[in-house]
Structure 1
Amino acid sequence: MLDHRLVDGYSANMFIAAWADITRSITPSMIPSFERSYLAPRSPTVYSPLIDNVFAPFVPPSNPDNINLSEEEEEEEDDEYILINRIYYVKGEQLKNLQLLASENGCRRSKLVAFTSFLWREVALSMEESGEYNEACNVVVTVDGRRRLSEEEGEKKEKLMASHFGNVLSMPYGSKKPQELKEMSLSNVATVVQEFLQSATTKEHFLDIIDWVEDQKPRPLISKAFATGEMSFSVSAGQRFETMDQIDFGLGKLTFGSCHVPSERKDCFC
């Protein structure tokens, strides 16, 4: 189980890769760093109000109306939610075609931006078909801050941040109604995705997060998109994770790996 209060996907992958090396009596290629001094907040803390558009203090859900539900009524309520884990294989050529469509406005978009734009619009269309056309559809794209925080800090800081074991994520998001996304071309949707991503890809943004989190302690935090109660899903590229053909637990190289979302989770993750 991965808990983002402790680690992010990058750290979990670092652990799995090291675990595989140790089972074969090999020294892990990357020794995790638990040094926290280089993630210390500034004094005094200072941050942009834009951080409030990314994270929010977590408020536990309260359902006083459900306290006295019978077991049968609880089962009926649970039946409203059906969790499905699906695995899709997308060919490289299809991603390239999406990238071309997403870049039609003259700005070249990455495969991540192109895929996220396509998925966002498809989810919105499914909402409209089910009659939820007036509700918001939110897409979150996780951004790793390790490389950003080591910018212009020298090779030593770069190596320390690359091996940092913990959570160094930002979770910017976009919000549109299904009808809005339906009327937009893929390239226009990609422009929206690029815009909300752009604000979360700077060193200053992650320094702001460190200071903001310091001022929020000890309150737990949550992605703003998931705090709204609206339809929200997140996309994570995992481009810097250890590739499957490098992980071997002694039984041969892995050929496939994926994530599992527990049944108690109600959010959507891709």
Structure 2
Amino acid sequence: MGSLEGGVAVVVKTTEVVAAVLPVTEHRLAMSNLDLLLPPLDVGIFFCYDDGGKNNEVMMSMVKKGLGQALVCFPVLAGEVVQNSEGEPEMLCNNRGVDFVEAFADVELRELDLYNPDESVDAKFVPIKKHGVISIQVTEMRHGGVVIGCSFDHRVADAHSINKFLLAWADMTRSNYSRADNSIEPLLSPDESLINKFIPSYRRSLIVPREPGRHDPAIDNMYMLIKDIASNAAEGPPSCHLQSRIYQISAEQIKLLQAQSGLKRTKFESFSALLWKLLAQAAKEDKKRCKLGIVVNGRNCLSKSASMDNYFGNVLSVPYGDASVGELKSLPLSEIANLVHACVESAVTEEHFRGLVDWVENHRPQPAMCRIYSCLPSDTEEVAVVVSSGQRFPVSKMDFGWGRPSFGSYHFPWGGTTGYVMPMPSATDDGDWIVYMHLFQRHLDFVEKEAPHIFRPFVY
């Protein structure tokens, strides 16, 4: 079915606050040094279901019940971000609860133009977070479809952590269906076995600075103090702004890209290399620079234990490569993939992450951020983009009791001038990728024109 032209009217039916179903002793939880590298940005996620169940009242009841149970394991998500005496953010775990919106859209899922999420999804199916750490909206569609959207504070959690919460929420909701026999009941305590399955680790001792601290000088080139951004932005922000698009890339094209990049390179590295080259080819001046950042999850670097895998918070670094437009145009894809690989390898060590923790400690309480996020298009800079791997995004496992979703994606129009790209597996589990891209319009247009067989606009 074709896309719906124009805007989509979404009517809010009710708004309430869902708290953890068991009492929470109010306490404060410090953010780690790696959390402190994140500015106050909200990240969106949404899942589409062709059939949310025949009884919408039961469906909403079970989803809220499962949410209240999941928050028992994830109390930080039911709390608030406050400031400590140094002016730094920290978590107040007070069980304030999560803003939960029930809504209705008088359209079918297959009429949504998900290729243009800024128009069809943003602030419609993915809520704008106004309070707390995470906001959730469940929207009923015409003829039984359902969209579940979330917005969460990136300072509190990275995608790895939020994925754990989403799986817990889905599993607990699905368990309620089987226990309650589709009847509406008061909120129940969560199944103890599910609590043990999903309980995260909040051990900040896993990420503490060393004494004495030390770091590789390369980190000074990767990160910067926010107060220094003003000196780099004397020209002011550009008049144009970034646009979001969602594409589907076939499994066949992904394998072909990897073959062209060399089989020693991962599919993610091969994709990133292609994107970097295309962005350079879009430029008219060979002397300009193109920067490509790669989001690296440091959990395996810091510890091989299960406690680190379950660690809740941010464990990320963003190394980046910097090359001239002319160089990227002339290099074959395999050599650009080697540059991407070298960029990743520079950060996938324990020493890198320990050094990054020490670097933050050395500058506290001055807030800092990834340097690549401060880039602005200029006479010397063509574009900067950050690519984050969503290959562990649990799209196909997000079954709340009425089947797995037919589509899922992140939505992160973060508001800066650095692009953001997130490839993730298709909900169909057929090897295809869904790719969320947030770039300047001219770069999106060029990518589609030069590689239409790879970047296919997503159509339901």
TM score, norm. by length of structure 2? 0.50
Which residue number in structure 2 is paired with residue 20 of structure 1? 170
Give me the whole-angstrom Cα distance separating, in 2, the residues matched to 1:64 and 1:93.
45
Measured at CA, do residues 65 and 42 of structure 1 come closer, stay the same or move farther in structure 2, by a change above 3 Å? Answer: closer
Counterpart Cα distance in 2 of 1:61 and 1:19: 41
Considering Cα pairs closer than 8 Å and 6+ residues apart, tell me whether 1 or 2 has the greater RCO.
1
Unmatched 5+ residue regions in structure 1? 67-76, 152-157
SS state at 2:409 partner: coil
SS at match of 1:180: helix
Tell me the equivalent position of 2:409.
258
| Equivalent pair of 1:46/1:211 in contact (CA under 8 Å) | yes
Residue 392 of structure 2, aligned match among 207, 230, 240:
240
How far apart in 1 are the matches of 2:300 and 2:245?
31
- Code of the residue aligned with 2:168 in structure 1: it is A
Aligned length: 246
Match of 1:169 among 288, 298, 316: 316
Among the aligned pairs, what percent are the same residue? 38
Tell me if structure 2 keeps the 8 A contact 1:53–1:172. no
Query: Higher mean Cα deviation, 21-30 or 255-264?
Result: 21-30
In 2, the alpha carbon distance for the partners of 1:218 and 1:7 equals 20
CA 1:34–1:176 in 2, change beyond 3 Å: closer, same or farther? same
Equivalent residue, structure 1, for 2:355: 208
C-alpha separation in 2, matches of 1:235 and 1:18: 27
| Deviates further, 138-147 or 51-60 | 51-60
The residue aligned with 1:58 is: 226
**Bigger mean CA deviation after superposition, 92-101 or 250-259:** 250-259
What are the equivalent positions in structure 2 for 1:133-144 lying under 5 Å apart?
133-144=286-297
* Letter in structure 2 aligned against 1:17: L
**Offset at residue 263 of structure 1 (A):** 6.6
Q: CA deviation at 1:55?
A: 1.6
Normalized per residue, the structure richer in strand is 2
Deviation at 1:82, TM superposition (A): 4.0
- Give, in whole Å, the separation in 2 of the partners of 1:136 and 1:65: 17
Question: Equivalents in 2 of 1:235, 1:144: separation in Å?
Answer: 12
Please list, as runs of the form range in 1=range in 2, the aligned pairs for 1:114-153 lying within 5 A after superposition: 114-128=270-284, 132-151=285-304
112-121 or 225-234: bigger deviation: 225-234
1:75-125 CA distance string (max 9 Å, x none) = xx98x324321111111111111111111xxx7111111110000000111
User: What is residue 215 of structure 2 aligned with on the other side?
Assistant: 47
Q: Is the CA contact (8 Å cut-off) linking 2:209 and 2:357 kept in structure 1?
A: yes
Distance 1:235 1:64, change over 3 A: closer
Between the aligned partners of 1:119 and 1:168, the Cα distance in structure 2 is 25
Establish whether residue 269 from structure 1 lines up as the match of residue 424 from structure 2. Answer: no
Instruction: Compute the displacement of 1:210 (Å).
Output: 1.4
Q: Which residue matches 1:108? A: 264
Considering only aligned residues, what root-mean-square deviation do their CA atoms show, in Å? 2.3
Given residue 205 of structure 2, which amino acid in structure 1 is its aligned partner?
Answer: S
SS where residue 138 of structure 1 aligns?
strand
Counterpart residue number, 1:196: 343
Could you tell me how far 1:223 is from its partner in structure 2? 1.4
> Aligned pair in 2 of structure 1 residues 202, 264: CA closer, same or farther (>3 Å)?
closer
4+ long deviations beyond 4 Å: 60-66
Give 1:180's match in structure 2, choosing from 327, 343, 346: 327
Partners of 1:203 and 1:65 lie apart in 2 by 38
AA partner of residue 160 (structure 2): Y
Q: For each residue in 1:35-74, what CA deviation from the matched residue of structure 2 results, as whole angstroms up to 9, or x when unmatched?
A: 10111111111111111122222235488998xxxxxxxx
Quote how far apart the aligned CAs of 1:34 are: 1.0
1:267 maps to a residue whose letter is: T
SS of the equivalent of 1:257 reads strand
Select between 22-31 and 94-103 the one with higher mean Cα deviation. 22-31
TM-score, normalised relative to structure 1: 0.82
Larger Rg: 2
Tell me, in whole angstroms, the C-alpha distance in 2 between the residues paired with 1:136 and 1:213: 28
- Structure showing the higher helix proportion among its residues: 1
